[in-house]
Amino acid sequence: MSSWQSVFHPTLFTNKVALVTGGGSGIGRAISKELASLGATVVIASRDREKCLQAAREINDEITLCCSRHGRKLEDRGRVVVGPSTSIRDEEEVQNLIHHTIEKYKSLNLLVNNAGGQFVCAAEELSSKGFQAVVQTNLTGTFHVCRAAYEQYMRDHGGNIVNITLGNRNGMPNMIHSGAARAGIENMTITLSQEWMESGVRINCVRPGIVWTDSGFENYGPAGDLFVEKILPSLPAKRFASPEEISSAVCWLLSEGSSYVTGSVVSVDGGSAFHFLPLIDIEDTNHLPVYGVLPRKAKL
């Protein structure tokens, strides 16, 4: 168990109720843990409820231990709880999950649409059903959850939504379904930021580069190993992201500190989206004029 703790204030999300889809593994688990460690009641849900129950138990224990280790007040802790088994592809199940959350925890202030995924397949070999399965999971599923949260709670009370997408700026060879679906989520996010502005709902995306999650990489089998061999050396940071690096951006977007940010995409990719054609080396010296005040020692 790591001794990692959030950079944010321990009571940042006190009295907030959050829903994290796919919160039982990988990035969603890290987000759920950070939100709960900052005071929120976090409902997690996915298709595999047993997995979510086990994750919730582990996270709650980890948070308690972390509080003791760092001399933090135990009463500041939030907690992770588990909603009904839900496939976000199923509109009725999603409506039920949102209803359950509001009925049981009395509000729904924060929503993280993290559930999703895809498989590796060249476009020419991809069946229509395979394409639709991925679009329905990522794009339609995210729409289902956003709309149900809005209808049942956020329209009248405001709220804050973050959608997790994926580095799709340069297309996604062998993952055309997911690249298209995530581009769709980003555009849908812009639309909703306008339509739901009057209700006091902010909605943004976090677009990760490649994030090391056991659950995510296991899913790809040998293709995952190949990605590690081929992609890792080509990344400007020469490393993948940790789930906590994604969570940190999500927490900022869910906080009041980002109160003027809506309809945006925050890339957390170590600069990899800008490095797909590394045609030149950039010398180690200042090129862009400083805006504001920067001490000399902070420049090369």
Ligand X SMILES: CCCCC/C=C/C(=O)SCCNC(=O)CCNC(=O)[C@H](O)C(C)(C)COP(=O)(O)OP(=O)(O)OC[C@H]1O[C@@H](n2cnc3c(N)ncnc32)[C@H](O)[C@@H]1OP(=O)(O)O
Contacting positions for ligand X (CB under 6 A) = 117-119, 121, 127, 129-130, 133-134, 137, 166, 210, 216-217, 219-220, 224, 227
State yes or no: residue 137 binds ligand NDP (CB under 6 A).
yes
The token pair that represents 48 in the structure block = 């595999």
State yes or no: residue 242 binds ligand NDP (CB under 6 A).
no
The count of chain residues that interact with ligand NDP, using the rule CB under 6 A, is: 30
CB of 103 to ligand X, least distance (A): 28
115 binding partner (options ligand X, ligand NDP, none; Cβ < 5 to 8 Å by kind): ligand NDP
CB of 116 to ligand NDP, least distance (A): 3
What are the angstrom distances between the C-alpha of 81 and each of 3, 33, 54, 152?
22, 11, 10, 20
78 binding partner (options ligand X, ligand NDP, none; Cβ < 5 to 8 Å by kind): none
**x/- track of binding to ligand NDP for residues 143-172 (CB under 6 A):** ---------------------x-x------
**Residue 86 or 258 with smaller CB distance to ligand NDP:** 86
> What is the radius of gyration, based on Cα positions, of the chain?
20
CA torsion sign, 34 to 37 to 39 to 42? positive
Alpha helices in 22-111 (DSSP H): 26-37, 49-69, 91-105
Spatial separation of the C-alpha atoms in residues 8 and 13, rounded to whole Å: 10
What are the angstrom distances between the C-alpha of 94 and each of 107, 124, 170, 171?
16, 33, 32, 30
CA torsion sign, 156 to 138 to 20 to 67? negative
Spatial separation of the C-alpha atoms in residues 278 and 207, rounded to whole Å: 21
164 binding partner (options ligand NDP, ligand X, none; Cβ < 5 to 8 Å by kind): ligand NDP
Q: Among 236, 139, 158, 255, which residue's Cα sits nearest to residue 197?
A: 158
**x/- track of binding to ligand NDP for residues 22-51 (CB under 6 A):** x-xxxxx-----------------xxx--x
CB of 172 to ligand X, least distance (A): 8
**Residue 37 or 142 with smaller CB distance to ligand X:** 142
| Strands, sheet with 41-45, edge to edge from the N-terminal-most edge strand | 79-82, 41-45, 17-21, 110-113, 159-164, 201-208, 265-268
220 binding partner (options ligand X, ligand NDP, none; Cβ < 5 to 8 Å by kind): ligand X
According to DSSP, residue 243 is labeled H
CB of 29 to ligand X, least distance (A): 12
Spatial separation of the C-alpha atoms in residues 95 and 72, rounded to whole Å: 37
**Residue 113 or 193 with smaller CB distance to ligand X:** 113
CB of 262 to ligand X, least distance (A): 25
CB of 131 to ligand X, least distance (A): 8
State yes or no: residue 213 binds ligand NDP (CB under 6 A).
yes
**Residue 211 or 266 with smaller CB distance to ligand NDP:** 211
3-class secondary-structure state, position 194: helix
Residues that bind ligand NDP (CB under 6 A): 21-22, 24-28, 46-48, 51, 86-89, 114-117, 137, 141, 164, 166, 208, 210-211, 213, 215-216, 219
